[in-house]
Amino acid sequence: MNASELKAIAETDTEEITPEAKETAARLTAMLRHVFRYDRGSLLRVIEESGLTLTQSKVLLELGGLGPCAEAWQVGDLAELFGVSVPSMSRAVEALVREGLATRLEDPDDRRVRQIGITPKGRELVEKLTAVRQSGMNSFAATLTATQRRRLDAAVDSLMDREDIAQAYRHLSESS
C-alpha cells in the first residue's frame, strides 16, 4: 500500500468519527499493541514458518471459523471481504489448496460454482495460531492485578451484547 492509499484510508476513516471515538480508538490501539507483544512474536513466527502470505493467513483464519464461521466461501466473496482483486485471491487460494490447507468444494446449489473450504491440515494450523495468540493473552492477563482484571472483564462483558463479538467468543470457548 502506497502513501496516497494510506492517506485516503486515514481521511475516509476519520471523517465521520467523533473526537470521543478517536480517543477510545487510540487507547484501544495502545492497549492492543502492548497486549500483542506478550506472544514475543510467536504468532508471526508461526505464520512465517508456515510459508503463508498475510492474505493466505487471513483466508485460512476465515475458513477456520474465526470470522463469521462460514462453512465455505466463494473466491469472489473472500476477495471482497479482504479488499483484494479476484485474481489475487484466486492465487492465494490456489496456494492454500496446493499446500493441502484448503480444498475446492462443489456448491450444493450450483455445480458450476466452486467454494473453498478448510482441510483438517488447515484447521490444525488455525488451531496452532489460535493457541499461540491465546498464550500471549494469558501471559498479559497474568500481569494484571485482580482489580485491573475485574475492570477489564467488566468492559469486555459490556461488549458481549454485540453478536459478532459474542459469536467469536463462543467459537473460541468451544474450541478450547
CATH of the domain at 137: 1.10.10.10
Q: Average of pLDDT values for 120-126? A: 93
| Mean of per-residue pLDDT scores for the chain | 86
Number of structural domains (the chain) is 1
Residue positions counted in the chain: 176
Please determine, for residue 59, whether its predicted confidence score (pLDDT) is greater than 80.
yes
What pLDDT score was predicted for residue 78? 93
Distance in angstroms (rounded) separating the CA atoms of residues 75 and 62: 12
Q: Assess if residue 135 is contained within a domain.
A: yes
Q: Assess if residue 155 is contained within a domain.
A: no
Q: What percent of the chain has pLDDT over 70?
A: 88
Q: What percent of the chain has pLDDT over 90?
A: 53
Domain ranges, residue 118: 13-143
CB 104 within 8 A of CB 114: yes
Decide: helix, strand or coil at residue 16. Answer: coil
